[in-house]
Amino acid sequence: MADAPHQLPPYARSLGVVLTGQYEGEMPVLTVDFGPMVEGRPQHFHGGATAGLLENAGYAALRTALIAAGRDPKLKPINITVQYLAAGKSQASFAVGRITRLGRRNANITVEAWQTDRARPIATAVMNILMV
Amino acid sequence: MNTPTPRFDAREASKWFFRHGHTGWLGLRFTDQGENWVELELPWREDLIGDASQHVLASGPIISLMDMASGMAIWQTRGTFQPVATLDLRVDYQRPARERASVKGRVECYRITRSAAFVRGIAYDDDPSDPVAHVAGCFMTIGADPREENPALNGAPGNG
């Protein structure tokens, strides 16, 4: 189960997003199983559910980087751009974030989501988050 | 209209769109529509908050709301239901939603071609002139491509 630094928000928990316990670099890999709660078109992920997974992985990466830096700011989303690359099929999806830049006030994060093949992302996101 | 199929109507479509799947789980509701726009509502729910210390909706469900309103605005504009895939969706957050407030998403389809559709819209809780977020998106219509692997099949708003 998640330790305190990687506690996921209520929205993530109710959507069924969990930590896999695996890491890429130091960043936690998150996953969500396929099920009615994430289904859009029959047997496929809804784009909004995929975005929810990406966003949570982005925040988890940022919190990880901030803890490593000994910082504990309040986070405010500025924007997110999601690119959909391939259909999310009826199986688990995974996502991990990467900090492109950690500034004093702003963090720029890139997130990738995939299913069976890590090398073939189904969606990516770029997020800007304000830290106050 | 003398076409055999009735014109797409977002209000009617909502009755079955939001019965199950992701949008049903979120509890999306139809609120209003126009020639080229649709407005939906995401009701407040305690378990959709993004930060345990604040009673404010997470941004994830707002993306779902805007994605769904985008798809429906496209069908409303086109007049027919033809599956679309989200290529790109951008959300600019203007301010947090108010505590325990439901959020409405109003999206217009401002340009449509045979294969692409462009949308823009706002999410707001109270006053449309003081939005929670602005969104812009680009969608592709899904043709009769029989391939399972068709990348354009991704992310079609919840027609499940």
> By CA distance, what is A36's nearest residue in B?
B21
Q: Which secondary structure element, helix H or strand E, spans residue A107, and what is its range? A: strand A106-114
Per the structure, the count of domains in chain A is 1
Cα separation, B102 vs B125, in Å, equals: 6
The boundaries of the domain holding residue A66 are 10-131
Residue A4 lies in a domain: no
Closest CB to B20 among A36, A81, A84: A36
> By CA distance, what is A43's nearest residue in B?
B160
A75, A59 Cβ separation under 8 angstroms: yes
Is the Cβ of A84 closer than 8 Å to some Cβ of chain B? yes
Closest CB to B22 among A12, A39, A76: A39
Number of CB atoms found within 10 A of residue B133's CB: 26
Residue A73 lies in a domain: yes
Residue A126 lies in a domain: yes
β strands within chain B, DSSP E: 29-33, 37-42, 84-93, 103-112, 116-124, 133-141
A17, A2 Cβ separation under 8 angstroms: no
* The pLDDT of residue B20 is above 80: yes
Residue that the structure tokens 């994430």 belong to:
A38
Strand partners, A121: A114
Q: What is the mean pLDDT of chain A?
A: 93
* The pLDDT of residue B120 is above 90: yes
**Token pair recorded at residue A110:** 């890139």
Closest CB to B60 among A11, A44, A78: A11
Task: Tell me if A11 and B49 make a contact (CB, 8 A cut-off).
Answer: yes
B97, B90 Cβ separation under 8 angstroms: no
Edge-to-edge strand list for the sheet holding B37-42: A17-24, A27-32, A93-102, A106-114, A121-131, A75-84, B84-93, B133-141, B116-124, B103-112, B37-42, B29-33
Residue A19 lies in a domain: yes
Report the pLDDT averaged over residues A47-55.
95
Between B13 and B51, the more confident residue is B13
Least confident of A14-23, A27-36, B54-63: B54-63
CATH number at residue A60: 3.10.129.10
Cα separation, A86 vs A89, in Å, equals: 9
ipTM of the complex: 0.92
**Token pair recorded at residue B143:** 């043709």
Is the Cβ of B53 closer than 8 Å to some Cβ of chain A? no
Please, which pLDDT band fits residue B23 given cuts at 50, 70 and 90?
very high
Task: Tell me if B158 and A46 make a contact (CB, 8 A cut-off).
Answer: yes
A120, A131 Cβ separation under 8 angstroms: no
3-state class (DSSP) for residue A116: coil
Tens-place pLDDT, residues B141-152: 886 554 444 455
Name the DSSP letter for residue B138: E
Between B151 and B59, the more confident residue is B59
Tens-place pLDDT, residues B68-95: 999 999 999 999 998 899 999 999 999 9
Residue A81 lies in a domain: yes
Tens-place pLDDT, residues B24-50: 999 999 999 999 999 999 999 888 887
pLDDT at B89: 96
Tens-place pLDDT, residues B94-105: 998 888 899 999
Cα separation, B50 vs A82, in Å, equals: 18
pLDDT at A85: 97
Tens-place pLDDT, residues A65-104: 999 999 999 999 999 999 999 999 999 999 999 999 999 9
Indicate the pTM of the whole model: 0.89
Residue A28 lies in a domain: yes
* The pLDDT of residue B55 is above 90: no
Q: Which string of DSSP letters, residue by residue, matches A24-54?
A: ETTEEEEEE--SGGGBSSTTBB-HHHHHHHH
pLDDT at B57: 80
